[in-house]
Every structure is written in C-alpha cells, then in structure tokens.
Amino acid sequence: MPRTTAGSAVPAGTARTLAQVYRRFGEVDAADTSPLYERVAVAVSESDVALRAIEMAPARKRHPTVILAALHDLALAGRAPALAAAYATADGDAAADAAIDTLLHMTDSVVAIAVRRPTRTNETGRCAVLYPAVAEAARRVGANAVGLIDVGCSAGLNLNVDRVGITYSNGQSLGDTSSPVQLSASIVGDRPLPTRAMPEVVARVGVDLDPVDVTDADDARWLRACLWPDQREQVARLDAEMALAATAPPLLLQGDAVEVLPDAFAEMPGDALPVVTTTWGLSRFPLESRLRFLHRLDEAAAGRAVAWVSAEGVGVAPTIPTLGDRRASGHSIIGLAVFDRSVLRAEAVGRCWSQGRLLAWLAD
C-alpha cells in the first residue's frame, strides 16, 4: 500500500504524479504561450493543499486544462475577484496565490464546474481549411446552394465558415472581406488554393453530445474560460465569432452523431447540397462508430448527392486516402468525399497542421 503524507488522505505516489503533470504543463505546454498559466501551474504543482483539492475531482477531470478552465470560469463570473484581478493585470505571482486560494476555499465549486463542463477548443483556423474544401465539393456536384452539418460542432462556429474573411500567406483571400471576423493561415508549398466562392448557405445544423449555445450567457462564458486569460488576441477573436454566430444562431441537435445524423439531413432543403463537416472529432469514435457514420452518409445519399469534408488525423477518416503518410506524422489529412447515390468518390485534397493554421492544397 502506498504511504500517505502527514495531514493528507492522498497517497504520496498519486500526489507526486499529479504534481508532475502540473509542473510539466507549466514548464512545457504553457511556457511559450501563457506566462500566467506557466506561473499558476508550477505554483499548483508545489502546493500540497492545491493538489489535495484537485484530487477531489474524478481522475479524468484533474488535468490542468480542465481545472484552470474551471478557475477561469469562476473569475469571469465574478465569484473569484482576486483571481480575476490578477488575470486582468497579467500578474503571475498574484494569479498563482489567488488560484491556490480559490482551490482551497471553493473546492466544491471548482470540482462541480470541472465535472459538468467538457473543455472546448474552438480553433478558428478550421474555417481556413473548410472554406476551399466546401466550395470544391459544391463545384464537383454543380450545387448552387449548400446546407452545412457540422458534427462535433461545440458552439457551431464552423457553421459560419462563409461569413468570415480568410487571408492566406500567398496573398489569396476567401470569404467575406467585410466580416467582423478576419482569419489568417499560411500556405505550405507552391500550389494555390481554388479561388471559387462558396455558394449560398441555406441551412446550418450542428450535432454534438453537449452543444454550446452562444446566446446563453453561461455557455458563452465557459467558451471564454477555456481560453487562456493572457491570450488577448484569441479572446477578442472568440468574442467576435460568438457575436457573429449570435446574429443567426444555427440549429443545434444534441446526441450521438450516428443516431442524430438522419434528423440533421431532414433539415436540409431539397435543392441544396448537404455538406457534412468533421474537424478532429472522429478520433473520439471507435472504428465501428466511424464506419456506422460512413453508412449514415451513404444512406442519406440514396436520393440525392451528399458531401463530407473532413480534417482528421492520418488514417482516422474512413475511405479518405492517407497518401502513404504515417499516422504519427504530426499533420492531418483534408478529405473530400462525395456520395452520389451508389457512387462514392473520396479524395485527399490537402494536408494541414496546427488545427488548420497551415495547409497545403493538393487537389487539381
């Protein structure tokens, strides 16, 4: 039996392991991007009382990204004013002290938030990948209108892909140049992107086990809480994206994608091409579920063309070629599959890195 330290109900081996997780997060994961979280995480790793508080959460909810988001949520809600003030002034030492104090005196609240809320990543770079691929899908089918179905939609921000402006490092641009949301991405290689515009989007449906409603104050605050407080540019961009989404909220369907997809297809107008998008979400599904997902797309295409645009790790998306790339290659494949009744045409149209911030277009 592992020994316990004096005054602690936590096995010493467990506490040391948790301390190592937080120290590594601070010194490695946050070191170059968030001085605040670097200082907070290292301080937590050195605090027995903070580690004991975190141990009150289920093991899968003890990771720094979860606990720090829960603390940030309390700060944004005005329930941890000292922590909020330290974050606002980017005072690392004050933030570390306030975070530990909040963990000590508001343990139940931190744990409750961590247990109830899954962490969210709403990487805006995904639109830079999705836009040219969705436009290409429409071109291949000859569609004058599309209906978007985003699987694993979180807050449904990908569903506004046609409403943002995107500038690429080679000088190309796509989307709405007057949009309040302007994104950028870098092109790898010398092949340009197709410059055709996406046709009119006539339906937007998000599917998620726990979708986020950007018009709900608590949900919107949680999205902000999942960002690191000293990443001002990302915070401002998320606020702009949520404001844009709130002007025309998508239909959000809750449930397992394989079960809910027929309901999503039912929302697609008959004269529009349904385009299903998945971005780094299928890896959470076992292979059997991924194959059932593919079967759902095939079923929906019995009487109409259906397209699937994916950005997934190498080998994750069924039927999408891997181009001979290794699974642990560090990049993802941009896939385009068109189901037209009994015919399936699947192609890898590009590669991308860093959640879509860098991409290489491959299709003709």
Q: Residue 164: pLDDT above 90? A: yes
SS3 114: helix
Average pLDDT (12-23) is 75
Q: How far apart are CA 288 and CA 15, in angstroms?
A: 37
Helix (H, G, I), strand (E, B) or coil at 331: coil
Above 60 in pLDDT, residue 295? yes
Res. 251: pLDDT tops 80: yes
How much is the average pLDDT of 331-340? 96
How does residue 154 score in pLDDT terms, banded at 50, 70 and 90? confident
| pLDDT, tens only, 302-316 | 989 999 999 999 999
269-288: b (≥16 Cβ within 10 Å) or e? eeebbbbbbbbbbbeebeee
pLDDT at site 5: 35
Decide: helix, strand or coil at residue 52. helix
What is residue 287's predicted lDDT score, i.e. its pLDDT?
94
Long-range own/partner contacts, residues 29-35 (CB < 8 A, 24 or more apart): 29/64, 30/228, 33/228, 33/231, 34/228, 34/229, 34/230, 34/231, 35/90, 35/92, 35/230
Residue 59, pLDDT score:
94
Q: 69-78, 226-235, 344-353: lowest mean pLDDT where? A: 226-235
Q: Which two tokens stand for residue 64?
A: 């720094």
Average per-residue pLDDT for the chain: 92
